[in-house]
Amino acid sequence: MTAYRLALIPGDGIGVDVTHAAMQVLHAAAKDRFTLETTSFPWSCAYYLEHGVMMPADGIETLRNFDAIFLGAVGWPETVPDSVSLHGLLLPIRKAFNQYANIRPHRLLAGVEGPLKATGFDILCIRENTEGEYSGAGGRVHQGRGNEVAVETAIFTREGVERILRFGFEQARARRRHLTSVTKSNAQKFSMVFWDEVTRELAADYPDVTVSHMHIDAMAAKMVMAPQDLDVIVASNLFGDILTDLGAAIQGGLGFAASANINPERDAPSMFEPVHGSAPDIAGRNIANPIAAFWSGAQMLEHLGEAEAAHAVLTAIETATARGIGIRPGLNTTDEITGAVIAALEA
Ligand code: NAD
């Protein structure tokens, strides 16, 4: 029987709860098909307070040996600035392992009511995950003085832009063959015009895919007014980050928004994590919705080649939500939702 080696980084707050819940569901999905051998790492803001770093110096090399990484959520702004926790763990992992494609699906699960009249949307957002506005290039001078200056440069490389767009085209080809490239090339006349040019160049290789170009502001409106017209969206790191919180909102909330950080070349592990953060306001209360983590787990099984088990997890989630379990905040505990999904898997 195949055994997959998983690195778990539960992180902070509800990240710990939803990781625990997701592993129960994934073990149930594995049944007698395969096994999941998990190793948990305590890297988090609590770890930072003790050790002065978010993960040890050899953290990346340690993770490299695993088949996949599952992360709960990282961040505890009361004790560690978000800029430190994000740049000390999540971003280095995404960059070191070339997890350049961040895949975030947005659709309404059975039984879940979103805030929109539109219900029949199924959007796949592909966010560039390693460069762009989150490259970390910049600096501050004259700190604390009246003439203080802060500079942050977005970096767009041809390699980075080409590979994310190509990934988006491939996803569109496997779905409804419509790709929307999101930029702001009217205002950002270097990087975003470059992005548009590369999109047009690559489109020649995908004549079967219809390509649309939209500005980020127009796309924000479109996702609210006519989300059913969208198929695959490709966007830069910052734009994708923001649009996918909007995507989470229209699918009923952050508790339903899954994400996969993929290394398409598979020369390093990919990482799977719910879109939401550590939710300090509800941490430790057993009320976090674990469905986003379950769905991210299904994406992980799919990536590992266990499509049948991935499908079983998604079906079990929707069996539970169709019965009204976990469809609104506060309706069920984390444990109840987990139990319902496991029961559906084992039925
Ligand atoms: P958040 O996603 O943690 O919470 C936003 C709101 O959504 C809160 O009211 C929270 O209670 C609610 N919420 C989120 N997930 C939920 C779930 N599964 N079930 C029910 N309610 C849920 O965002 P935030 O408050 O902006 O950030 C808190 C911390 O998390 C910060 O430190 C931030 O940097 C970090 N963060 C981490 C990640 C990550 O690890 N990938 C992502 C986003 C934010």
Ligand 1 centre and the CA of 77: distance in Å? 11
Of 230, 223, 265, nearest to 245 by C-alpha is 223
- Pocket test residue of 9, 48, 276 for ligand 1, highest count of atoms within 8 A of CB: 276
What residues does 141 pair with on adjacent strands?
149
- Pocket test residue of 43, 245, 254 for ligand 1, highest count of atoms within 8 A of CB: 254
293 and 91 in contact (C-beta within 8 Å)? no
The whole-angstrom separation of Cα 44 and Cα 119 is: 37
Q: What is the pLDDT of residues 169-205, one digit of tens each?
A: 999 999 999 999 999 999 999 999 999 999 999 999 9
pTM (predicted TM-score): 0.95
Ligand 1 centre and the CA of 51: distance in Å? 24
46 and 13 in contact (C-beta within 8 Å)? no
- Pocket test residue of 69, 238, 278 for ligand 1, highest count of atoms within 8 A of CB: 278
Of 56, 27, 4, 72, nearest to 271 by C-alpha is 72
Ligand 1 centre and the CA of 254: distance in Å? 8
Q: Is 248 helix (H, G, I), strand (E, B) or coil?
A: helix
Ligand 1 centre and the CA of 72: distance in Å? 10
Q: pLDDT of the chain along its 347 residues, tens only?
A: 899 999 999 999 999 999 999 999 999 999 989 999 999 999 999 999 999 999 999 999 999 999 999 999 999 999 999 999 999 999 899 999 999 999 999 999 999 999 999 999 999 999 999 999 999 899 999 999 999 999 999 999 999 999 999 999 999 999 999 999 999 999 999 999 999 999 999 999 999 999 999 999 999 999 999 999 999 999 999 999 999 999 999 999 999 999 999 999 999 999 999 999 999 999 999 999 999 999 999 999 999 999 999 999 999 999 999 999 999 988 999 999 999 999 999 99
Phi and psi angles of residue 48, each rounded to the nearest 5 degrees, phi first? -60, -45
299 and 95 in contact (C-beta within 8 Å)? no
Q: Is the four-CA dihedral 37, 263, 138, 279 of positive or negative sign? A: negative
